Structure formats: C-alpha cells, structure tokens
Amino acid sequence: MKLGSFYKGRDLVKPSGGKKGRVRKTKKKALGGGPPQIPKLGDVEVRILERVRGGNVKVRARVVRYVNLYLPKERRHVKTKILSIVSTPPNPDYARRNHIVKSAIIQTEFGKAVVTSRPGQVGTVDAILLE
C-alpha cells in the first residue's frame, strides 16, 4: 500500500477510506505518565532532575521558598521570600495544602503577587506583584 494520500495522522487508512484497527486493545501502564509533580512551600528548596522524552532533562521543583518577583512600577526583578499562599483559583484545596501552581496568589515580603510560571515544570517560581 502506498503511504501517499492514504496517510492521515498516526492511523493508516484503507483504500476504501476506512481506518485500520487499533494496534493494542488495552493501554500500557508505561505510557500513562506519572503522578502530578506539584511543589510545596517549605524551608529548604528541593529540585530534582528528571529525564524526559528525547533524552532531555527537566528540572522540577519539589519544595520552594523563594520567588523571582517582578515589580511593574520599578521595572525590575527581585528575589524575595514567599511568606504564605493566599489562594489558588484552579483548585482551592491547593492553598490549604501549601501547593504552588500557576495563577496562585502568594504573599511575599513586597505584598501579594500572582505566580506566572509552572514551578513543577520549570523548577522556578516567577511572579508579578499585584498593584
């Protein structure tokens, strides 16, 4: 069979236009990924290196204490301590458990700020000070 015009995405298509069946009936455990890596607020910063697709390395934050805070009025960044987590709009339970995720509102030494990075994916906490 030619792959030319019959190849659509990942599935090969029969000459009649119908799709071929699945390769395996059940999903394999190894293909599902892992549990969510949501960093917590703590006293000592902990980061782990994880091998990801293509042999690349991803830095994941497990415990964080500091934030790279952007001050819009002064147009500069400062490294400051996170005092507490005020709220997390994606999941209110995260604030109770001290989990830091994107769009969480945190209390810093400069005031309240909103998290703009994904700490579990990039390994750092970046935030913008709220006016």
Q: Domain extents for the chain?
A: 40-129
DSSP state for residue 21 in the 8-state scheme: P
Pick 29 or 108 by higher pLDDT.
108
For residue 4, pLDDT over 60 is answered with no
pTM, 2 dp: 0.75
For residue 25, pLDDT over 70 is answered with yes
CATH class of 40-129: alpha beta
Q: Using one digit for the tens of pLDDT, what is the confidence trace for 54-107?
A: 899 999 999 999 999 999 999 999 999 999 999 999 999 999 999 999 999 999
Q: Using one digit for the tens of pLDDT, what is the confidence trace for 90-99?
A: 999 999 999 9
Cα(11)–Cα(18) distance, integer angstroms: 10
Extended strands (E) in 9-75: 11-12, 40-41, 46-51, 57-64, 66-71
In order of 92, 103, 117, the CA distances from 85 in angstroms are 11, 11, 15
